[in-house]
Amino acid sequence: MSDLPQNQASTTPVLDRVRLPADMKGLSDRELIQLAGELRRETVAAVSETGGHLGAGLGVVELTVALHAVFDAPRDKIIWDVGHQCYPHKILTGRRDRIRTLRMEDGLSGFTKRSESAYDPFGAGHSSTSISAAVGFSTARELGAETGDAIAVIGDGALTGGMAFEALNHGGHLKNRMFVVLNDNEMSIAPPVGALSTYLTRLYSESPLQDLKEVAKGAARAFLPEPFKEGAKRAKEMLKGMAMGGTLFEELGFTYIGPVDGHDLESLLPLLRTLKARARGPVLIHALTKKGKGYAPAESRPDGGHATAKFNLATGEQKKAPSNAPSYTKVFAEALISEAERDEKIVGVTAAMPDGTGLKEFGAHFPRRMFDVGIAEQHAVTFSAGLAASGIKPFCAIYSTFLQRGYDQIVHDVAIQKLPVRFAIDRAGLVGADGATHAGAFDTAFLANLPDFVVMAAGDEAELVHMVATAAAIDDRPSAFRYPRGEGMGVDMPQQGVPLEIGKGRIIQEGVKLAILSYGARLSEVLKASEALRARGIVVTVADARFCKPLDKDMILQLVAEHEAILTIEEGAIGGFASHVQNFLMEEGVFDRGFRLRSMVLPDDFINHASPEKMYQVAGMNAAQIEAKVLEMMDISVAKRA
C-alpha cells in the first residue's frame, strides 16, 4: 500500500494495513490506538493539501476507529450527521488513495454520499438528519430488510435542530435496537446556544470526567447477564445521582450511557463491544470530544479549525489568495450595521451561522440585537415573525439551502400574515467545493410564488447595499434579497444605502436588436459577454432586473418594444425569474406577435462539486456561453463567429 522506498520506514505502518474496515478486525486494542494516531496525522496532511472541514474530523478520530473496529459496515449503517466530520471515515473505507481529491472536481465529496461508497449509507450536508435516518434503517431491519445495526453520530450543535428530537421521540417509542452517539464537543460551527447546551454541560461538569468514565463502564454492564445485574443497577443509580443520568434522553425512551471520553479507546472499545453484544432497544452514548483534537493550530482556533483553506502543515497558516474586492457577505454585514446605527429597531437573526452570514460582526456592534438560535431554521423564521409582529425589524440571515428547511414557516407564519421579516439569503447560486447540498438554486422560485413578497437579487455589491436599505424601509410585507458567496465585482461603493423604488430595474447598457435581462450576480458574466460581442461589432442592451417580484413590467415592455429578442439570465432553477417574465409576456400577448424570448437558468440537475467557475461552465452560464447563446438567437452562424 505504501509508495515509500523499501529502505524507508512508513510513518503509518498500521494504517497501511487497513484498506477496508474488515482489516481492522484482526488488530489488537494497542494497534487500534496506534491506528488512531496515524489516522489523525493522515487527515491533517490531506486537508492541508485540499482545504476543507478539518476540526470536526479530528474530533471523531477515536470514535471512527472504535465504530469501525466494533461494528460491521457496510452491513451496519454508520450515519454521520452533516458529514463534515467524515474524512477519517473515508480514509478507513477504501478511499485513502483519493483523499487528496477532497472537494475537487471529479474527486471525493466533502460529505457522505451514497453514490460514492457503500460505506456511506446516507448522504448528508445539512444537519440534524442522522437520527431520523437511523430510525428508518432500524425499522427497515425489523421489516425484513438486509441491514444490520444503525448507528447515528450527531454533534451537540446538530442536536439543537428540532428534527433530531422528533427522531429521538419516535425512536424511543418504537423501541427498536439502534444507537445514537452524541458527539459532544461544545462546538458546532459557532459556540452552541440554548438550554440544551447548558443541560449537556451540566451532565459532565458536576463530577470529574475520570469518575464518570468508570460509571459509564459500570452502566454498560447493564447489558450483561446475571449475576452482574445488581452491580449494573447500582452503577446506573450512581450515574443518575452524579450527573442526572441523561434523564431527558431516558424519558424519551433511550438507555443513556455516559458521559464517556470520546478520545479514550480503552474505554470506548469495551463499551461498544458490550453494547453490540447485549443491547436490545435504543441506546444513546454521550461522548465528550474536542474539536480539532491533536493538531495544535486547529485546537487554538475559536471554531476548532472547522473549515480551512489549504494550509502549511507545520504552522497551520492558511494559503488564501489575496482579495481584490470585498466579499458580498462582508458588504451585507457593513450595510446592515450602517442601517442599524440609524434605526434601533433593526436586529439580526441567524441559525448557527454568525460567521458565515456576517452577523458576528453585527453582533460585535450590537450584542443585544443579534440572535443566534442554533441549528433551527424553522424556529429562526417564526422567531423573526414574532419580532416583526411586535414592531421590531428582523433581518433573518440564512444560507439559501438552509432556508429551505424553514419553508413552511415562511409561508404560514410570515407570508400569510404579511409580516415584514427581511430575509438576507447568502450563498445564492453555485458555491463550489461544498457541492449540491449547499448550492442555492431554488430560493427565487419558492419565494417569488408567495403573495405580497418582495424578492430581490443583487447584481453587484453596491446594489446589495441598496437592497439592505430597501428591505429596512419595507414595513408592510415580507422581503428577501439574495447574493452569492465570494467576492464582489469591485464596483464603486456608495457611502450609504438608498432604498430602491420597489419593482424598478435599471438599464446598464443601451444596444440594438437583442436585450439581455439579468437577475442577480451573473451580471458580471453578462457584462463580459457583452464586451466580447462588442468586439464582434454587436452591441446588445444589458438590463439588471433587480426584482423578481414585483417585476418591472414597464421596463420589460420597453425592452420588447425596442428589441427583436430578449435573453433572461439567472442563477436559479426553472420556475424562478424567467418563469415570471414568461408568464407576464404571455398574458400580454407578446408571443402572439412572434417575439423571441429565451432563458438561461440552472439545469434540471444537481451539479457535482468543483470550482464555482467549472460548475457554472457545466450549467452553461459563463460569459463565453452567454455570448454563444446571443449569437445563436441572432442567427449568426458559426462561420460568421470566427
Q: In the annotation, is 632 catalytic?
A: no
Q: What is the pLDDT of residue 306?
A: 73
CA distances (Å), 482 to each of 404, 459, 471, 498, 536, in order? 14, 10, 12, 17, 33
The values of phi and psi at residue 608, to 5°, are -65, 160
Per the CATH hierarchy, to which homologous superfamily does domain 15-299 belong?
A: Thiamin diphosphate (ThDP)-binding fold, Pyr/PP domains (3.40.50.970)
Q: Annotation-wise, does 126 bind a ligand?
A: yes
State the pLDDT at residue 528.
96
The pLDDT value recorded for residue 247 is 75
What span, in angstroms and rounded, lies between the C-alpha atoms of 397 and 422? 8
Tens-place pLDDT, residues 444-463: 999 999 999 999 999 999 99
**DSSP 8-class letter at 521:** T
CA 228 to chain centre: 46
Catalytic annotation present for 377: yes
Residues of the chain with CATH 3.40.50.920: 506-641
| Radius of gyration over every alpha carbon of the chain, rounded to an integer in angstroms | 27
- 328-482: which CATH architecture? 3-Layer(aba) Sandwich (3.40)
The C-alpha cell of 373 is what? 438560535
Q: 379 among the known binding-site residues?
A: no
Amino acid at site 558: Q
Give the per-residue pLDDT at 415: 97
Neighbours of 476 (CB within 10 A): 10
User: Long-range pairs for 311-315 at CB < 8 Å and ≥24 separation?
Assistant: 311/47, 311/48, 311/51, 312/48, 313/44, 313/45, 313/48
CATH 3.40.50.970 location in the chain: 15-299, 328-482
Strands (E), 281-389: 282-288, 307-308, 346-350, 370-372
Torsion (CA) 402, 405, 411, 417 in degrees, nearest 10: -70
Query: What CATH number has the domain spanning 506-641?
Result: 3.40.50.920
Given the residues 213, 293, 369, 405, the one annotated as active site: 405
CA distances (Å), 403 to each of 75, 380, 444, 641, in order? 34, 10, 11, 43
CB-CB contact of 357 with 329 (8 Å): yes
Which residues on neighbouring strands pair with residue 424, listed in sequence order?
Answer: 397, 481
Is 157 within any annotated ligand binding site?
yes
Residues of the chain with pLDDT under 50: 1-5, 188-189, 204, 206-244, 637-642
On whether 156 is known to bind a ligand per the annotation, the reply is yes
Query: What are 556's three cell numbers?
Result: 420589460
Is 185 marked as a binding-site residue?
A: yes
Write down the catalytic residue from 236, 291, 522, 549.
291
Name the catalytic one among 42, 62, 377, 461. 377
The predicted structure's pLDDT at residue 299: 82
Is 263 marked as binding a ligand?
no
Spatial contact of 197 and 159, defined as CB atoms under 8 Å apart: no
Q: How many whole angstroms separate alpha carbon 478 and alpha carbon 351?
A: 19
Give the pLDDT score at 312: 82
pLDDT of residue 110: 87
**Model confidence pLDDT, tens digit, residues 612-636:** 899 999 999 999 999 999 999 998 7
- Cβ distance 430 to 479 under 8 Å? no
- Per-residue model confidence (pLDDT) at position 207: 41
CA–CA separation, 184 and 261 (whole Å)? 10
407 in a labelled binding site:
no
Whether the model pTM is above 0.85: no
Give the model's pLDDT for residue 499. Answer: 98
